[in-house]
Amino acid sequence: MAVRLFKPGRIGDSRGWFSEVYSEVAFAARGVDCRFVQDNHSLSRTAGTVRGLHFQRPPHAQAKLVRCVAGRIFDVAVDIRRGSPTYGRWVGAELSAENGLMMFVPVGFAHGFATLTANCEVCYKVSAPYARGGEGGLRWDDPGIGVVWPLPTGVEPTLSEADRRQPSLTAFDSPFDYDGEP
């Protein structure tokens, strides 16, 4: 499966709006046929917080469906499938409560985001439960990947200690194989 961006419709009136953000049937019709088994919700208090680039190793690998429900983030997926013609390349998009966009990140991609505003809340569905010891990651600022993070001017990124110690792509032995999908 490929990384995809989705924009659920919103039905609005004077009270506000309603949106069906996920339907297994509707997503399967669009080629996303994984089953989600867990919902996660994170809060990042400061603008410039970077979380990622993360993944879960097989057999606990996870596809993700990510959306920002408060604030704005820059969401990124990096292809880490051995043999892929796009290995090491990234895609990114701004997700916000206002624009309602969601990013689907398939298995075989590292995922991360940077907060563009304070008090960002991110919700994401995953296709496999979290498994302690199955975590993996890459450096968020690896020049071999070259993500252009649009951090707020003058803001130093806020990182976890684990994210400060992640390996570079060149030091990484991927547990994922290319599946023939772009």
Q: Which are the catalytic amino acids?
A: 54, 124
- CA angle (170 as vertex; 111, 48 as ends), nearest 5: 40
Pairwise CA distance, residues 60 & 44, whole Å: 25
Q: Are 11 and 19 in contact (CB under 8 A)?
A: yes
Distance of CA 85 to the CA centre of its chain: 20
76, 105, 78: which is closest to 89 by C-alpha?
Answer: 78
State how far the alpha carbon of 167 is from the alpha carbons of 136, 138, 181, in Å.
Answer: 9, 5, 26
Helices (H), 106-148: none
Q: Which own/partner pairs from 10-18 qualify as long-range (CB within 8 Å, at least 24 positions apart)?
A: 10/100
Retrieve residue 78's tokens. Answer: 């990096």
